Amino acid sequence: MSQRDPEPRRVALLWISALVLVVASVGLAFREEAAHQGEARQQAEAQTEVLAGSVSAALSFDDETAMRQDLSALMRNPQVSAAAIYGTDGRQLALMARPDAGPAPARLAGPEDMQANGRDLVARPVVEQGSRLGFVYVQTAREDLSAFVARHTGLVILTLLALMLLTFMTSTAARLATANLRLNEEIEARAAAEDALRQSQKLEALGQLTGGIAHDFNNLLQAIRGAFELILGKAADEKVVRRWARNGLEASDRGASLTRQLLAFSRQQKLELKPLIVADTLAGMGDMLARTLGPKIELVFDLDEERVPVMSDATQLELAVMNMAVNARDAMPGGGRLTVRSRKVALSGDAVLPSGSYIELQVIDTGEGMPLHVMRRAFDPFYTTKALGKGTGLGLAQVYGVARQAGGDARIASAPGAGTTVTLMLSEASGEAAGPAEAPEAAAAAPSVAAGATVLLVDDDEAVRVVVRGGLEARGFKVLDANGGEAALQLAARGPQIAVIDYAMPGMDGAQTAERLRRALPQLPIILASGHPDTAAVERALGGSATIVRKPFDIAKLAETLTTMLARSA
């Protein structure tokens, strides 16, 4: 819209400029013409006076030959078309005239200046030492048209040229504006294309990554499967079964951690942001970090005691610290020192972050550092300097994600040979202070409510149903299990007190099943189990009326959730 506005204004400006130009030219031409005529007149007067001066003796002594000589000298000037000499009595004594001259007066009684038919007529007295001897008369030639045209052609041409130039310039400017507009559109289109390209590159990278993850998962599955096989073989030996079951659980935990990391990176998983004390979280990681770093690396904690809460997801924050620690370890193959530091800082005038109070969490290593070009891309997803299969390139990207989600920023400082410092600025949480998020008494009170409660379990996967049913029944729940939405609706008549529904099912999906169940039993608390990364989408589908547990879940945790919800609805 606004880009089209200048057009009429430019046209108006063109017209005004052209008008001004023409008016100025005409004015100039008039002035020039007046000046020219004045000059011509002055010239005629000067000629006449020269004649009057030179002819005095000849006139005095009535020497016609001399008079004619003077006249013919004057007639050399093409501007003079006639010249004459008169005696004191006004009688014409000599006359010279061109064929095209106007009539010269036969008698002349006195000096006169006049104009006739575009000619200047000038008469002057001839005076010698105060004695008036007669008159001279000069008639100038009428300027012919060609001379007039020639005199003004220059200005006309200049004016026309200027007008043309003006038009040309205006049209050029218009074309330029159009071109600029088009260019801007193209830039926008290009930016959009680049965005699309970047997205597709990300997807492509994700595709490549999937291969690596599938491999990891296969390993994990292998471990789990092996554990179960061993359990199957030695089912009677309780000690062996326990050990291998623990191994299987560990493997599945690793798998869950891997998917969590991916989801955190994809940022589509809903983080459980809660106020937490960074120093507490870090202090609890000592063992884990020491084990990750190995014996060659000294671990130093330098933690604040400010007890300033930040909004973050404890698991994700731990994961971020782990990621940084792993990177640090890989940067110090020959050993070194890792410092984990937290302190409160008051920030103002930062380029990125708003002023305020922050917890600065730093992980500092004494490793090999990195050059600038690597540092610049360190937070980019999938950017890694590690060998294929050794790293996903997601570690620091996850760190960055955690920092941003906590209302902060992640920075990196490094130089080759000078170690690396990764800094997370985490914004101080406003409002309620951090504390234990869940009231422990709720869980303690739960069993009495939960005892004997009937759970409607809906899942299309029989193996899952069997495992979960067993687990829940072992905890005192009664379980009605259905292999799909239709079966679940039939079971609704049997009065379940709570429902656990798998989200991804063929036919009627979890959300639809939940909705239909609600119609029959409006007060029914519902838990949806979902492996889908986009928990927000699932929540939207349910209108916020259900609780979501993320798959894979452990049964103890599910039982806890069931108990809590039953207590709330009771």
Partner 1 sequence: MRRLGAALAAGLFAGGAQAAPPLELAVKAAYIAKFAPFVVWPSSAFAGPRAPLVVCVQGDDPFDGMLERMAAGQNVGAHPLVVRRVARLDPESGCQIAYLAGSAAQSPAAALKAVEGQPVLTVTDGDSSRGIVHLVLVGDRVRFLIDAGKAGQSRLGISSKLLALAAEVKR
With respect to partner 1, which residue has the nearer C-beta, 55 or 224? 55
Q: Return the number of other C-beta atoms located less than 10 Å from residue 123's C-beta.
A: 22
How many Cα atoms within 13 Å fall on the side-chain side of residue 225?
6
Q: Is 133 in the site for partner 1 (CB under 8 A)?
A: yes
In the complex, minimum distance from the CB of residue 102 to partner 1, in angstroms, rounded to a whole number: 30
Token pair 């708003």: residue: 354
As a three-state string, the secondary structure of 217-250 is HHHHHHHHHHHHHHHHHCCCCHHHHHHHHHHHHH
With respect to partner 1, which residue has the nearer C-beta, 48 or 427? 48
Contact range with partner 1 by CB under 8 A, out of 52-60, 252-260, 411-419, 485-493: 52-60
Contact range with partner 1 by CB under 8 A, out of 42-50, 117-125, 127-135, 344-352: 127-135
63: buried, middle or exposed (CB in 10 Å: 19+, 13-18, 0-12)?
middle
Q: Return the number of other C-beta atoms located less than 10 Å from residue 440's C-beta.
A: 8
Within 372-484, residue ranges assigned H as helices are 372-377, 395-405, 440-450, 462-474
Q: Is 332 in the site for partner 1 (CB under 8 A)?
A: no
Q: Of the candidates 57, 173, 206, 555, which one interacts with partner 1 according to CB under 8 A?
A: 57
With respect to partner 1, which residue has the nearer C-beta, 63 or 460? 63
Contact range with partner 1 by CB under 8 A, out of 13-21, 50-58, 391-399, 550-558: 50-58
Q: Is 560 in the site for partner 1 (CB under 8 A)?
A: no
Q: Residue 222, Cα to own-chain centre: how many angstroms?
A: 47
With respect to partner 1, which residue has the nearer C-beta, 65 or 146? 65
Q: Are 358 and 426 in contact (CB under 8 A)?
A: yes
Q: Is 72 in the site for partner 1 (CB under 8 A)?
A: no
With respect to partner 1, which residue has the nearer C-beta, 69 or 315? 69
Q: Of the candidates 66, 174, 290, 521, which one interacts with partner 1 according to CB under 8 A?
A: 66
φ, ψ for residue 156 (rounded to 5)? -60, -45
Q: Of the candidates 63, 250, 298, 460, which one interacts with partner 1 according to CB under 8 A?
A: 63
Give 152-159's long-range contacts (Cβ < 8 A, gap of 24+). Answer: 152/29, 152/32, 152/33, 155/25, 155/28, 155/29, 155/32, 156/25, 158/25, 159/21, 159/22, 159/25
With respect to partner 1, which residue has the nearer C-beta, 78 or 130? 130
In the complex, minimum distance from the CB of residue 49 to partner 1, in angstroms, rounded to a whole number: 14
In the complex, minimum distance from the CB of residue 88 to partner 1, in angstroms, rounded to a whole number: 11
Q: Which two three-digit tokens encode residue 2?
A: 């606004």
- Distance between CA 202 and CA 208 in Å, rounded? 10
Q: How far is CA 335 from CA 298, 322, 368, 387, 550, in A?
A: 8, 17, 11, 20, 39
Q: Is 205 in the site for partner 1 (CB under 8 A)?
A: no
Q: Is 128 in the site for partner 1 (CB under 8 A)?
A: yes
Q: Of the candidates 25, 47, 48, 54, which one interacts with partner 1 according to CB under 8 A?
A: 54
With respect to partner 1, which residue has the nearer C-beta, 136 or 328? 136
With respect to partner 1, which residue has the nearer C-beta, 117 or 129? 129
Size of the site for partner 1 (CB under 8 A): 13
In the complex, minimum distance from the CB of residue 132 to partner 1, in angstroms, rounded to a whole number: 10
Q: Is 61 in the site for partner 1 (CB under 8 A)?
A: yes
In the complex, minimum distance from the CB of residue 72 to partner 1, in angstroms, rounded to a whole number: 15
Q: Of the candidates 42, 115, 131, 200, which one interacts with partner 1 according to CB under 8 A?
A: 131
Q: Which amino acid is at 543?
A: G
Q: Which residues contact 331 (CB under 8 A, 6 or more apart)?
A: 365, 367, 368, 369, 370, 419, 420
Q: Residue 26, Cα to own-chain centre: how many angstroms?
A: 53
With respect to partner 1, which residue has the nearer C-beta, 73 or 555? 73
In the complex, minimum distance from the CB of residue 130 to partner 1, in angstroms, rounded to a whole number: 5
Q: Is 50 in the site for partner 1 (CB under 8 A)?
A: no
Q: Of the candidates 58, 224, 310, 446, which one interacts with partner 1 according to CB under 8 A?
A: 58
Q: Give the strands of the sheet with 454-458, arranged side by side.
A: 478-482, 454-458, 498-502, 526-530, 547-550
Q: Is 56 in the site for partner 1 (CB under 8 A)?
A: yes
With respect to partner 1, which residue has the nearer C-beta, 2 or 129? 129
- Distance between CA 472 and CA 432 in Å, rounded? 35
Helix, strand and coil content of the chain, in percent to the nearest 5, comes to: 55, 20, 25
With respect to partner 1, which residue has the nearer C-beta, 50 or 504? 50
With respect to partner 1, which residue has the nearer C-beta, 86 or 358? 86
Give 536-544's long-range contacts (Cβ < 8 A, gap of 24+). Answer: 536/268, 536/270, 538/503, 538/510, 538/511, 539/270, 541/511, 542/511, 542/514, 542/515
Binding footprint of partner 1 on the chain (CB under 8 A): 54, 56-58, 60-61, 63, 66, 128-131, 133
